[in-house]
């Protein structure tokens, strides 16, 4: 989440800098504004956990299947 926020903040800076930039600086700012969302999403989706580690919330417990009753009234 932190990496995504930093990347998107840099994108906002690039968009704002496009107002005052001229020449090739305008192209640099435009490229940053266009490509940073892709980079931010890829960085946000990188899994940094150890391989083989199982992640699940602690509140979820395995439950036994319900017994089926075939009672006909």
What is the per-residue DSSP string for 55-66?
---TT----PPP
Among 42, 46, 15, 44, residue whose Cα is nearest residue 30 = 15
pLDDT in tens, 27-54: 888 888 888 888 888 877 776 655 666 6
Global pTM value: 0.53
DSSP 69: -
Question: CA 73, CA 64: separation in Å to the nearest integer?
Answer: 26
């Amino acid at each position: 989440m932190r990496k995504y926020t930093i990347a998107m903040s840099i994108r906002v800076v690039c968009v704002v800098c496009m107002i005052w930039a001229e020449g090739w600086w305008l192209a640099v700012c435009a490229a940053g504004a266009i490509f940073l969302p892709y980079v931010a999403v890829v960085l946000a989706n990188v899994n940094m956990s150890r391989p083989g580690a199982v992640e699940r919330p602690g509140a979820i417990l395995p439950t036994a299947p319900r017994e089926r009753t075939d009672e006909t009234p």
